Structure 1
């Protein structure tokens, strides 16, 4: 059951993680990225503009995932507080 919960949490949070990765790479490389169009971003001879664009657009998938992301946060808090209180899991 724990493995299933972790898998669901990872799937639900994947768009947010990919958006964060895209923004982080854009900031570190000094490239311009937005959801309107891909912009060239040459790093070490490779154009990563398309990759950064794709990672940035993944943020739009967070909109339908927000309720499920909230549920994972609430369940995680509940499990953490129960563990702190000394409750035993069946």
Structure 2
């Protein structure tokens, strides 16, 4: 009854996007930290630090990828609003189907 409705699909898509976004940001941040530690470089939110690998400085890249956590802090409320809206639509559709309105 509810499993294949449009509301269920919308809710599933919103959850997948929300958790996928949060998971991607966490994985990228951890990957940045592990890479910097393996190369003996310093990564923090304060400034860009030089990190030479095969004659190329990847400090700016490590800094930018490490700052994605700050992007998540800004964008996460929007993701939560989208998930909440999808949940309200899904519950409304389910109640409509359940009570036959």
- The TM-score range, normalised by the shorter chain, is 0.5 to 0.7
2:23 paired residue among 2, 10, 13? 13
Structure 1 pair 48–3 and aligned structure 2 pair: CA distance change class (3 A): farther
Find 2:49's aligned residue among 39, 43, 52.
Answer: 39
Residue of structure 2 equivalent to 1:57: 67
Detail structure 1 runs of 4+ shifted over 4 Å in the superposition.
none
Where 2:35 maps in the other structure, the secondary structure is helix
Which residue of structure 1 lines up, in the alignment, with residue 58 of structure 2? 48
How many residues are treated as equivalent by the alignment? 69
> Looking at both structures, which has the greater relative contact order when contacts are Cα pairs under 8 Å and sequence separation is at least 6?
2
User: Structure 2: 5+ residue runs without aligned partners?
Assistant: 1-8, 84-101
Q: How many Å separate the matches in 1 of 2:71 and 2:12?
A: 24
Larger Rg belongs to: 2
In angstroms, what is the RMSD of aligned CA positions?
2.6
